A and B are shown apart, each in its own frame.
Chain A
Amino acid sequence: MPEKLTSPSFPTPLKPRYRAIMVGASGGIGAAVSRRLAGEGYTLALVDLNEKSLEGLCNEINQKSGETRASYYVHNATEYDSVPDTLRNIVAELGGIDLFIYIAGVINFPALDEYNFHEDHKMVEVNLLGAMAWLGQVAPLFKSLKAGQIVGVSSVAGERGRIGNPGYNASKAGFTTYLEALRNRLTRHGVNVITIKPGMVKTDMLTLPGAPRPMFAVTPEKAADLIWNAVQKRKQVVYVTGLWYWIMLVVRNVPSFIFRRLNF
């Protein structure tokens, strides 16, 4: 292992570098995607709330690649006003931007008869408003470059409102719709927008109180594989895993008079 890490790796014609910003980098899927992108040679700006885990992740990535591929920025996704400056500084540090990933998300599992505005508010703030604050800045940048890809990690939970989690469902439904609208706005300008819809992924989310029993749950690494594949192939909507496409096809088509009566 090299003792001293080299300075950030600058692109040259023979060593081109793609550059990505990850908002929500230190969570389960976020960390896995970060490791994967670094392994593919990306230069990364990792953005999250928790400095300690960010630092750990950066060190791990940089030691493994033997050069500075990742740097981190502490930022709370709900500090909307600071997004423009933060983004501008990060893009200047990276020397450009090719890929933007919004993966920050929070969840709370209320009881079936519980209404908790405080928690709902938080979920909408992080899962939807934070995404809008960032993407509202990133979209015009990519548009003027006529290039770039945006990845939003939403959820299958955004496809139906279920009795289990109205707040989460609403936040993810909003995010999914926002991403679709961005796709429609930006595709004509050469920008690709990918909506990732994970089903269940074995992250901390599934260990929270009230979390459902894991069903077809995959590792974050598997999720990262599928997300990387989607980026490479410039896909648009990707279920993680593909099995969830079929599950949600059924769920989406359950008529309301039945859905109302289910405990699902």
Chain B
Amino acid sequence: MITTTLKNFTTLENFGHSLSAPSYLFKPTKTNEIHEAVKLTKKTGLSILTRGAGCSYNDAALNGGGIVLDMTDMDRILKWDPETGLISAESGLTLEDLWHYVEPQGWWPPVVSGTMRTTLGGCLGANIHGKNNFKMGTIGEHVVEFTAILPTGAEITCTPKKNADLFHAMISGLGMLGIFTSVTLQMKRIQSGLIEVDALPVRNLHEHLSYLLEHAPDHDYIVGWLDTTNGGKSLGRGQIHAANYVHDGEDPDPKKTLLLKNQVLPPRIFGVFPKSILYLFMRPFVNNLGWWGVNTAKYIASLRRHTFRQSHAAFHFLLDYVPNWELSAGRGGLIQYQSFLPKETAEDAWREILTLSLKRGLPSYLGVTKRHRPDKFLLSHAVDGFSLALDFKVTNGNRAKLSEMLQEFDRIILQAGGRFYFAKNSETTAETAQKFLGKDTLERFKKLKKRCDPNNLLESDLYRRVFGSL
């Protein structure tokens, strides 16, 4: 039984440790406890938010002063068919537990995030994408069915056909319309535990984006690393990782490569150095000069084009490779600025913002590019084009300057017809959101909100900040 009184007033953080907010934390294990919590919300007049693993870079999983339901204990696998690859699980199941379960049997989640810590509920709420967005779309496109509890108390089932409007709005809906309880997903068949990666250098932004555009169709995955610390002629240079599944006959021993032990990320580097404290040794380099050195060295190392095979886990979950890497930014934490631009305008707009950040002496420390396609979900971030994710370290000294610069970025991106992703950007204003989502979308969202949650029980800091005044 969930208690009917408030308890566990706890400070919760976001993924980048750049923001925190206190909430009354509950950890339901059964759906009737979610109902209890919603009732408590009505009784106290507080708002409620479901939180998965808290892997958003912004305030999407924070609800300051309100109630938070930590869903990670609702992580049971309900149904699994190894013949068809259909899996049903509770919404608190993490991608880590999911792939650990299906991978040894030759299946892989069709879309995964850069960290495996995320939960299914969180993945649906943000409608995550992976390095195969141009081919497989977002995770929502592989959801066969989900069940949810609405704040009205109703339990509903949604499929792409049944309750289609809610299906397409709750996926991408940031948890503001209802509480996911279970998700049925279609897994993807894999014939080997390995992925074949082609790593090659690109010398500037034009070459970078052209390569993504031209070569994405020939690959299952494509992702670019962008050197954010070097400008001029080599602005936008970097390295492309274009990867393909290894098919039948190409892997001499697929049984072995599919074994779980061959997928697990090694806990030590060179077999001796424990990775759990590596982030401490990264700290001295996380400054403008140090990171210029790291980026430059990485680019020089990438000049040799080479092909290699690595496990699915190693290829996808780069963010988990160094545990606690997000702590390497130090006390202020880190934020990510990700913009999505149509393929026609991307190059010019990104040249402008990258140049601006170098001119201001506020370079991003990590740039990642991807190729995208539009989707049908309501609060979609996708475009037929590219995305560029820029990580910035936050310090007491750079907050004001960084804030001002990101507002200018927003202006440039909006002018170029760009969009933003609500799991990432933390500084998006209500006005910016209104501009890129458009009035129609917001109207439809507001209507659905009124229908599903007439008393505005479901709220997050993100919702109040961006949608509260719309």
Please give the residue numbers on chain A whose beta carbons come within 8 Å of chain B beta carbons, in ascending order. 7, 10-16, 88-89, 91-97, 140-141, 144-147
Query: Within the complex, what minimum Cβ distance (angstroms) separates A47 from chain B?
Result: 16
The answer, yes or no, to whether B439 is at the interface (CB within 8 Å) is no
Contacts of A11 in B (CB 8 A): 19, 21, 59, 461
The answer, yes or no, to whether B412 is at the interface (CB within 8 Å) is no
CB neighbors of A among B304-333 (8 A) = 332-333
Please give the residue numbers on chain B whose beta carbons come within 8 Å of chain A beta carbons, in ascending order. 6, 8-11, 14, 16, 18-19, 21-22, 44-47, 58-59, 64-66, 332-333, 335, 394, 399-400, 402-403, 406, 426-427, 430, 461, 464-465, 468-469
Contacts of B19 in A (CB 8 A): 11-13, 16
The residue that B426 contacts in the complex, of A14, A140, A144, with Cβ under 8 A, is A14
- Find out whether the CB atom of A96 lies under 8 angstroms from the CB atom of B468: no
Residue of A nearest to B404 (CB): A14
A-B pairs with beta carbons under 8 Å apart, 18 shown: A10-B464, A10-B465, A12-B426, A13-B19, A13-B333, A13-B394, A14-B399, A14-B426, A15-B427, A88-B46, A91-B65, A92-B46, A94-B64, A94-B65, A95-B464, A144-B9, A144-B10, A146-B11
Query: Within the complex, what minimum Cβ distance (angstroms) separates B186 from chain A?
Result: 36
- Find out whether the CB atom of B9 lies under 8 angstroms from the CB atom of A92: no
**Bound complex: CA of A140 vs CA of B45, how far in Å?**
21
**Bound complex: CA of A141 vs CA of B8, how far in Å?**
9
Contacts of A10 in B (CB 8 A): 59, 461, 464-465
Contacts of A95 in B (CB 8 A): 21, 64-65, 461, 464
**Bound complex: CA of A95 vs CA of B46, how far in Å?**
11
- Find out whether the CB atom of A145 lies under 8 angstroms from the CB atom of B10: yes
- Find out whether the CB atom of A14 lies under 8 angstroms from the CB atom of B402: yes
Closest 3 CB pairs of A and B: A95-B64, A13-B18, A92-B65
Residue of B nearest to A140 (CB): B9
**Bound complex: CA of A7 vs CA of B59, how far in Å?**
17
Query: Within the complex, what minimum Cβ distance (angstroms) separates B14 from chain A?
Result: 8
Residue of B nearest to A14 (CB): B403
**Bound complex: CA of A93 vs CA of B16, how far in Å?**
24
Query: Within the complex, what minimum Cβ distance (angstroms) separates A228 from chain B?
Result: 18
Contacts of B10 in A (CB 8 A): 144-145
**Bound complex: CA of A145 vs CA of B14, how far in Å?**
16
Supply 13 further A-B pairs (C-beta < 8 A) apart from A92-B65, A94-B65. Answer: A11-B21, A12-B19, A12-B58, A12-B403, A15-B427, A92-B47, A93-B65, A95-B464, A96-B64, A96-B65, A141-B9, A144-B8, A144-B9
Contacts of B468 in A (CB 8 A): 7
Contacts of B427 in A (CB 8 A): 12-15
Query: Within the complex, what minimum Cβ distance (angstroms) separates A13 from chain B?
Result: 3
**Bound complex: CA of A16 vs CA of B59, how far in Å?**
12
